[in-house]
């Protein structure tokens, strides 16, 4: 059964700092990995989808990497801003051929002005 772990559970950084969020998963037979952002009481905003054949995917100040063999992904946020404060979720398919996503519990990021 796929399990996703995100470390740290919470992170507080001063504005302007670069930071890394970590995600690990147990079943490496995945097609892709998705990073989401969730604001309090709100829906999930897709940030990046990284396919299993890719090692990195970039969108603006965000860069996601994927090491499928070791079951790890990182989300790098450059030059953090207070507007980046949110919970960041990582999700992977539950197994080969599965449509369902298994989510981690998330990392709650606070960027202090």
Residues in touch with other proteins (CB under 8 A): 31-32, 34, 36, 41-46, 49, 51, 89, 91, 93-94, 97-106
- Contact partners, residue 68, CB within 8 Å, separation at least 6: 28, 30, 52
The least CB distance from residue 4 to other proteins, in Å, is 8
Q: What minimum distance in Å lies between the beta carbon of 16 and other proteins?
A: 29
Judge contact between 55 and 65, C-beta under 8 A: yes
In terms of CB distance, is 13 or 28 closer to other proteins?
28
Burial of residue 39 (CB within 10 Å: 0-12, 13-18, 19+) is exposed
Q: Which is nearer to other proteins, 65 or 98 (CB)?
A: 98
Nearer to other proteins, 12 or 51 (CB): 51
CB of 99 to other proteins, least distance (A): 4
Instruction: Give the C-alpha separation, 107 to 13, whole Å.
Output: 13
């Amino acid at each position: 059964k796929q399990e996703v772990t995100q470390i740290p559970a919470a992170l507080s950084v001063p504005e302007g700092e670069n930071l890394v969020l970590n995600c690990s998963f147990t079943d490496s037979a995945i097609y892709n990995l998705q990073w989401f952002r969730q604001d309090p009481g709100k829906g999930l905003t897709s940030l990046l989808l990284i396919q299993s054949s890719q090692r990195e995917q970039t969108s603006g100040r965000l860069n996601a990497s994927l090491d499928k063999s070791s079951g790890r992904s990182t989300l790098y946020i450059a030059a953090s801003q207070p507007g980046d404060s949110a919970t960041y979720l990582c999700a992977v398919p539950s197994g080969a051929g599965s449509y369902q996503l298994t989510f981690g519990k998330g990392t709650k990021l606070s960027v202090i002005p």
